[in-house]
Structure 1
Amino acid sequence: METYTLPFAPPNLSTLQIAYFEDVTNAAAIKHRLVEAANTPGAAGEVARAAVDFAFIDADLLVSRAHLITALFAALLTSLPSVSGATLAAPPVPKTRTHNLHSEVLCALSPNNNISEAIRRFGVGKGTRRLIVAKYGGGEIGPEQVWRMIEDVVSGRLERLDRLDEVEVPWARIDKVYKVGEMNNLKMSGAEREAAKRAAIVNAVAVKHAM
């Protein structure tokens, strides 16, 4: 698991922790747990939601480590008030279109603004085998506790995040989602073409909400 300190973020969101798993065996159970937590009322629901308060991302739709990090930063930056945190009376609450900042990451990854489609495409599904689990927070929960929480949810093999730059990308699926199939006609080597498509996708995520 990797831990990032975000000096540009307010204290309550200044830490970002990311774990990458391969050979996940309980994706269907994770999906069920998320749905059940969302639909459980009262104090029991609050406890259930806190236990799965992460961004769960199907890593098959990530073309690189930069793709993931760009989406995580974009979701945070576009959800914060456009004033200095030092001028706020209290730590700011992110303004999101979805339930919370973690699900907002899925929208940041999506090439369109359809929230339901973003969650269906980029969130954990029954067939997910490669999974990113990410959490924004402050210093109130240390990395050891976060890791214990993740271990309680995910059954899989933890890998280093750089593996995202090494695994084979399902380009047929990526081409369809991000509409980069036309780039297959570019007159360049296969490696150059894939690098160009990766750059185009990362750039699209970076500028999506900057227009």
Structure 2
Amino acid sequence: MSASLETIHLPHLPSSLEVHAALYKDVQNAASLRQQLLSANSNFEYAFIDASMVISRAHALSAVFRAVNDYLNERLKSRNIHSEIVFSFSPTNNIADSFRKFGISDTTCNLLVVKVSVTPDITHDSVAAHLAQNVQGTLLPFDDEALAGISDVAKIKRAYKLGSLPSACSKQANGAPDEGKRQLELSVLGAIALRGAT
């Protein structure tokens, strides 16, 4: 997969609701991006997620699916679909805490940016052009390999209260995926799903 903005169609959701995702490392202007969010600048209506808190592509997409589903069913608990995506990463119902743990901070170096096409003018090209102008960082492919290089497993385990799980490594010696990482991913996905049941 090439390092560029990716447009994703999530199964079981309307095809018009495209999801655009870009993964960056070495972001230089996180404080400025966060300031645009705080000032509610509609041009910066994105889900800005601290990528060190994302264990896998499935982890990110499950949070996105959850938020889009809540948007379609008019169940948003936060300001808009993009803030709801950040909130959907959280295993608790504390919105402020979820933004502190999973959202962009002034010192964020690795960033996952997600934008949902909730209006027809939000297209792959418009999002790609806006991000190219406004995010100062190096694009990575949005895949498990890239995320494995930047995710902070210890921080993720703390956020989801999974300290008893074995430590995950990206690969075993024989090149097979590490069972600890798979177990962590399943536990994280379970925590996201369970919050919806409360």
For Structure 1 versus Structure 2, the TM-score category normalised by the shorter chain is 0.7 to 0.9
In the alignment, residue 76 of structure 2 is paired with which amino acid? Answer: T
In the alignment, the residues of structure 1 paired with residue 126 and residue 150 of structure 2 have an alpha-carbon distance, to the nearest angstrom, of: 32
Change in CA separation of 1:33 and 1:141 when aligned onto 2, cut-off 3 Å: closer
CA displacement at 1:149 relative to structure 2:
1.3
In the alignment, the residues of structure 1 paired with residue 181 and residue 123 of structure 2 have an alpha-carbon distance, to the nearest angstrom, of: 38
Contact 1:75–1:101 (CA<8 Å) still a contact in 2?
yes
2:63 corresponding residue in structure 1: 71
Does residue 1:206 correspond to 2:193, yes or no?
Answer: yes
In the alignment, the residues of structure 2 paired with residue 109 and residue 3 of structure 1 have an alpha-carbon distance, to the nearest angstrom, of: 20
In the alignment, the residues of structure 2 paired with residue 184 and residue 147 of structure 1 have an alpha-carbon distance, to the nearest angstrom, of: 38
In the alignment, the residues of structure 2 paired with residue 30 and residue 4 of structure 1 have an alpha-carbon distance, to the nearest angstrom, of: 23
- Deviation readout 1:142-191 (Å, 9 max, x if unpaired): 21111111123211001100144431532221221111111239xxx983
How many residues get paired?
184
1:26 corresponding residue in structure 2: 29
1:5 corresponding residue in structure 2: 9
In the alignment, the residues of structure 1 paired with residue 154 and residue 10 of structure 2 have an alpha-carbon distance, to the nearest angstrom, of: 35
2:126 corresponding residue in structure 1: 145
In the alignment, the residues of structure 2 paired with residue 165 and residue 118 of structure 1 have an alpha-carbon distance, to the nearest angstrom, of: 20
Calculate the TM-score normalised by the size of structure 2: 0.83
Change in CA separation of 1:5 and 1:173 when aligned onto 2, cut-off 3 Å: closer
> Which is higher, the Rg of structure 1 or of structure 2?
1
2:175 corresponding residue in structure 1: none
Matches within 5 A, 1:161-176: 161-162=142-143, 163-176=145-158
Greater share of residues in helix: 1
Contact 2:9–2:17 (CA<8 Å) still a contact in 1?
yes
What secondary structure sits across from 2:164 in the alignment?
helix
1:183 corresponding residue in structure 2: 165
What secondary structure sits across from 2:191 in the alignment?
helix
Matches within 5 A, 1:54-133: 54-81=46-73, 94-133=74-113
CA displacement at 1:26 relative to structure 2:
0.6
Contact 2:50–2:103 (CA<8 Å) still a contact in 1?
yes
What secondary structure sits across from 1:18 in the alignment?
strand
In the alignment, residue 124 of structure 1 is paired with which amino acid? Answer: I
Structure 1: gaps of 5 or more residues: 39-48, 82-93
Structure 2: gaps of 5 or more residues: 173-177
Identity %: 31
CA displacement at 1:98 relative to structure 2:
0.7
In the alignment, the residues of structure 2 paired with residue 164 and residue 205 of structure 1 have an alpha-carbon distance, to the nearest angstrom, of: 22
Change in CA separation of 1:152 and 1:95 when aligned onto 2, cut-off 3 Å: farther
